[in-house]
Structure formats: structure tokens, C-alpha cells
A and B are shown apart, each in its own frame.
Chain A
Amino acid sequence: MVMCARSVTTASIDKAFGSESVLEDVSLDVEDGEFCVIVGPSGCGKSTLLNCLAGLVAVDDGYVAYDGTDVTGRPVEDRDVGYVFQEFEDTLFPHRTVGENVAFGLEQQDDGLTDAEIDERVDEVLDLLNIKETREDVPEALSGGQQQRVELARQLVRRCDLFLLDDPLADLDYKLQKQMELEMRRIHAELGSTFVYVTHNQDQALKLADRLVVMNDGRIEQVGTPKTVYNSPATAFVARFVGDSNALTGDVVRSSDVGVVVDSELGEVSATPRGDVGTRAGVVLLRPERMTIGDGATDRDTTVQAELRGVTYTGEVTEFSVTADGLDREFIVSEPGRPSFGTPGDDVVVGWDAADAQYFETLSVSGSVTVEDIVRF
């Protein structure tokens, strides 16, 4: 068992492909042994950042350091970094069996493992990922999910101090994904290595991360624990991207003892300001599970008369979609279990506390996000 892990630091990385800027001023610190998850919408640069950390892509500006040593110029084959590719169907060696694919990385290592030891390690990791029976098959004969696990296997078997993973569970079916998410945490704990994991699935991100990094448009929006990022988002983008939320636009009209009062589409509502608040147009974001629907809503700071539009039972909670005068879209309120508040078309009351309504004027770290973008997310 490898007990070492490697810290990764980047400072002010810029990367452009041709005239298109993909990463701008990206600085990140990952501590040794951490499970760091980078999440963001497609095209935000998270895969490119991973490539830069690995050395598969050269940075235009800035540097990458492992354990404090600058490795920016070091070729990737000398870095001893595990990298699990997203496009596994293209990266697996088609002319070798699964066993040979997995053994390849071990054969390149200098520590002189015997053939028997290599065999044993290959068996071990195939067993761990439940693909032991595919050992003598070629990748072509496997399903997408099996191929993805072979790609994972041939990196994990090397027991590197640092693993970079590009959405390694994306092709697995729901049950298998849930299973593998637990396995990921367990493997991470057992190996003790540092994981930097990229995904677009923010549920998975919240579940796996010690440190969560939210990216947008080539920049880092926020870095924090899942709890911090979820409950105290730094910008409107983060609040919108991580978890569900309802959005109202408006301006601050005055302060109150609980926060600010915002003149929104639903009239004056109380909200808690986040970040700098001045005279710009802003958004109020409300999480569906923090809102109340029905009789309980009248006790809350803000109440709104609404019309019930739809009821969706999702297994753990029920989502009620409502609309109100002045609103050209629907809001979602979620309640645990399967309560009933009428049928679509009925009038209902919806309410929330000022503490649950977060008002942002800082929409995003990138300058190109508008109020419209946030509302129409």
C-alpha cells in the first residue's frame, strides 16, 4: 500500500487554443491526499485544466508544481501521474487484451516487478472493479461500461501518488454509478493518493469531494467544501449551478434588520445579501427545499399567493411547480415524502425566510454572465 500522496499547485495558468482562450488566470491548491472535484458546465475548461495538470497540454502562462517542485516543463511520461481518460474507447489499446492493457503501466515502471507480481496486481484490480472475467478479451468485445472500468483499472493498478480522472463513471448505468461512487471513496482512502476528479455531474461532485472547485468559462468561481459551496455560494453562478434554485430579478430598495429588501417580480421580498451589494441589478436565489408550500408557509418572512401547476414525485421528495402573478416562469418547491396540497389549478400559498433567499449582485467571476443568463439557466 502506497502511503504517499502528492500535493498539486497551479498558479495563474492561462491556456488558449488558437485565438480562443480556454483557461484564464487559474490558480488552484490541492493538498496531498485530498479528493478534489472540479465541476462546471460543458466548455468551462475543466478537462483542459486536468490536461495541464498532467502535462499532456503545455500552459501558455503560469506553472504547475507537484509537492512544491515546478514540473511545468517535465514530459508526461516522466511524471508518474495516473490519468483516466474520458474517451476511453479511443485510448484503450485495441491490439492487446484487457489483462495486457492493465499490465502495460506496470511494465513501464522502474521498480522491477516480477511477472508474477504484475499478474497478481492485475488480477487484484480487475477483481476490485468487477471485470475479472474480461481479462482475456480485447476491448472491442466489451460493453462501454466494462471498457470504462478497464481504463480505470490500468491507472489504479499503478498506485500513483496523484490520480487525475476525467469523468471516469460517465458511461455506467445508474446502479453501477452509485456503486462505483462508493468504491471511488474507498479506493481513495485505501491508496491514500491525491485525486483530482472532473465531472459535470454535480450530485456526484457533492458526494465525492473533500474540496470542490466550481469552474465557469475558463475561470474558477469558487473553491470550498461541498457544504460551503452549497450553502454559501460566492456568486449567483455557483448558486445556480450547484443544486437547484429558483431565481428572481430585482434591485435593492432598502436595508432591513434581516438583510435587504429587494423589489422583484413578486413585489418586495426580504433576502440575505451575498458579496458586494450596491446599485446594480441582482438576482434572488431560493432553494426549492428551503421553501414551504401550504399552510405552513404563512409563518414565514415572505409569503406569496401562487397557483399550483404540477406535481412530480421523485421517490424521496415531491416537487411542486407553481407560478404567481408577475412571474413569467414556474418555481419549484420541494417537500419530503408525498404530501398533497391540491391539484393543478388550485391556489396555494408559498413562503420562505429571508435567510433562505440569497441576493447576488456578483453574478460570476467571468464578466460575460448577465442577469438574463442566470434566470434562464
Chain B
Amino acid sequence: MATDFDGGTGTSLLIRTVQRVNVRHVLVAYFVLVAAYVYLPIISIIGFSFNQGGLTFPFVGFTTQWYSELFANDAIIGSIVRSLKLALVVTVITTFLATATALAYRYDFRGQRTILYLLILGIITPGITYGVGAALLLLDILQLDKGLWLAIPVHVVWTLPFAVIVLLAGFPPTLSENERAAQVLGASKLTTIQDVILPQIAPTILGAAVFAFTLSYNEGTRSLLLLGQANTMPLQVFAIASSKRPTPTLFALGGVTTVISTVLLLVGGYLVVTGIRHADSE
């Protein structure tokens, strides 16, 4: 450690202090603070969903009444069902398109970079901006009626780039060499896809699908203007929370949604990471 004085005792004292500080401990403390900032709201919601006193602080007593009220609330359950239906359809479409896209990127082709940038626009365009544009196109120009299914193209545009990126990252780099070998060995295109390519990318495809499902399920602002009365779950939550009398069932809903989304993401993440690790080891 440098201990030479340069004339001013203040400077060298600071340097000495900084050098004595264990950087690792500082980083850990910083991480804990950030994690708390991120997770405390979520944890408090889940915690307070069992609060007998409802939305008021402090915690009065343990109850599950808000959960029973939640499952009896037709409006909320209706919105959840709508979200699930929409997410399912969107997942199927997105997974199919994303897999086809990712497979195309094994080869070089004209405009490949442009297409990738266009896809990523789906992520970086602000949600409500996209929602306004979609409403303009679908409702005003194409004169379509508002409804749940109008949200499909909008959700696909949102989830597709994520799925493509996940797939591109998780594909084994040797897919095209495997394909050439299969060709030489006499396999038809169909056999090659079935027996050589799909088995290697299946975990990644599933992971991308789960990811897309979660993204669609939780998406609110993009389809806000298109749904009319057919609220999806995020919109129903927003409606309740912004009304004059938000109810504690909201907390219960928040708890359920957070837990399920977390589980889904963990499963999806596991599938994708196993796919990537498998690809890396080749």
C-alpha cells in the first residue's frame, strides 16, 4: 500500500482509507439495498394480502378471507381467464414464429440485420405509444371492433423479439454442421428436422414459450385501447386500484400473480439455461 505523503495529509488519508475498505463488503451491501428496493414492494403486497385489517397498516391478524373473496369475484376471475386465453394463443403463435426465425438465422441472408432491428422495435417502443398506434390502425383505419382477440397481434409483436433472442442464444452453434451430416447420411429434410434439430433445441423452445406466456399474461398498456370491456387481468387490477375504493382482494390477486409468474419464469429460465449450457459445451 502506498503510504508516501505528497505534502497534503488529507489526500493520503483518503487514499489510505479507501484502500483499507474491503470492496467486496461494499458491493454486497449495495446489492442487498438494491434487492430490498426491488423486492420490498412485492413482498409487502404478499404479506399484507393476509392482513385482517385490509389495506391499512399495521398488520392486525392473519386471514385468508381476501383470497376467498378474490376467487368469488366474477369480474376479477373473468379478467384472469381472459388473460390466460389470450396468453395461450399468443404463446403458440409467438413460439412458432420465433423458432422459424431463429432457425433462419443459422445462415447468412440479405437483410438479416434489418429484420433483427425491426424485431427489437417491439421491445423498445414504449407500450402506450404502441397501443395508441395499434388502436389507430385496427379501430380507426381497419374499422375492426374492440375485443379480446384484437390484442393478439399486439402481444405477439411484444413477445416475439424476446423469444427470438432467447432462442438465438440457446441454439447449439453446430446445428448447420449436424444438418449437413444428416443430409449426407441420406436423411430427408423432414427427418433432419425431427430427429436431429428439434431434439437439440426443444428445451430452449419450451423456455422461450414459457417466457412469452409470462410476458403476454402480464402485459397491460399495449392492448389497453383495444380491449374495450373485455379487461385482461392487468387492466382489471389497474381499474380497481385507481378507483375510489381499492379492495384488499387486489393484494390477494397481486400475491397469486406474483407467485405464479415467478414459478413460470424459474421453470422457463431453467429450461433455457440448460439449453444454453448444453449448447456451450459443444
Contact = CB atoms under 8 A, between A and B. Distances in A.
A91 B200 CA distance: 13
A129 B181 CA distance: 20
B196 interface: yes
B183 interface: yes
Contacts of A140: 281-282
Contacts of B178: 90-91, 93-94
A93 B172 CA distance: 11
B186 A108 contact: yes
B19 interface: no
A81 to B, nearest CB: 7
Interface in B176-205: 177-178, 180-188, 191, 195-196, 199-200
A56 B182 CA distance: 12
B185 A105 contact: yes
Contact of A77 (B174, B183, B282): B183
Q: Which among B172, B178, B182, B183 has the greatest number of chain A C-beta atoms within 10 A?
A: B183
Contacts of B195: 104
A104 B184 contact: no
Interface string A83-99: 10101011111110000
B139 to A, nearest CB: 48
B281 A109 contact: no
A154 interface: yes
A77 B181 contact: no
A76 interface: yes
B180 A91 contact: yes
A56 B180 contact: yes
Given A108-B191, A140-B281, A140-B282, A91 B181 contact: yes
A95 B187 CA distance: 17
Q: Which among A54, A82, A89, A95 has the greatest number of chain B C-beta atoms within 10 A?
A: A95
A94 B172 contact: yes
A95 B200 contact: yes
Contacts of A158: 185-186
B196 A93 contact: yes
Interface residues of B, number: 21
Q: Which among A54, A75, A76, A94 has the greatest number of chain B C-beta atoms within 10 A?
A: A94
Contacts of A108: 185-188, 191
A81 B200 CA distance: 26
Contacts of B200: 94-95
Contacts of A95: 199-200
A93 B184 CA distance: 13
A56 B180 CA distance: 8
Nearest to B278: A94
B84 to A, nearest CB: 33
A90 B177 contact: yes
Contacts of B177: 85, 87, 90-91
B196 A77 contact: no
Contacts of A76: 183-184
A92 B175 CA distance: 10
B184 A81 contact: yes
B277 to A, nearest CB: 12
B176 to A, nearest CB: 9
A278 B188 CA distance: 58
Nearest to A80: B186
A369 to B, nearest CB: 33
A154 B178 CA distance: 13
A56 B172 CA distance: 21
Contacts of A104: 182, 185, 187, 195
B141 to A, nearest CB: 44
Q: Which among B183, B186, B278 has the greatest number of chain A C-beta atoms within 10 A?
A: B186
A56 B185 CA distance: 12
Contact of B184 (A77, A90, A92, A94): A77
A159 to B, nearest CB: 13
Nearest to A140: B281
Contacts of A91: 174, 177-178, 180-181
A93 B181 contact: yes
A78 B184 CA distance: 8
A109 B188 CA distance: 11
Contacts of B186: 77-78, 80, 105, 108-109, 158
A237 to B, nearest CB: 32
Contacts of A155: 184
7 contacts: A76-B184, A77-B184, A77-B186, A83-B184, A91-B177, A93-B196, A158-B186
Interface of B: 172, 174, 177-178, 180-188, 191, 195-196, 199-200, 278, 281-282
Q: Which 3 A-B pairs have the closest CB atoms?
A: A108-B186, A90-B177, A91-B181
Given A76-B184, A77-B186, A94-B282, 4 more contacts: A77-B188, A90-B174, A93-B181, A104-B195
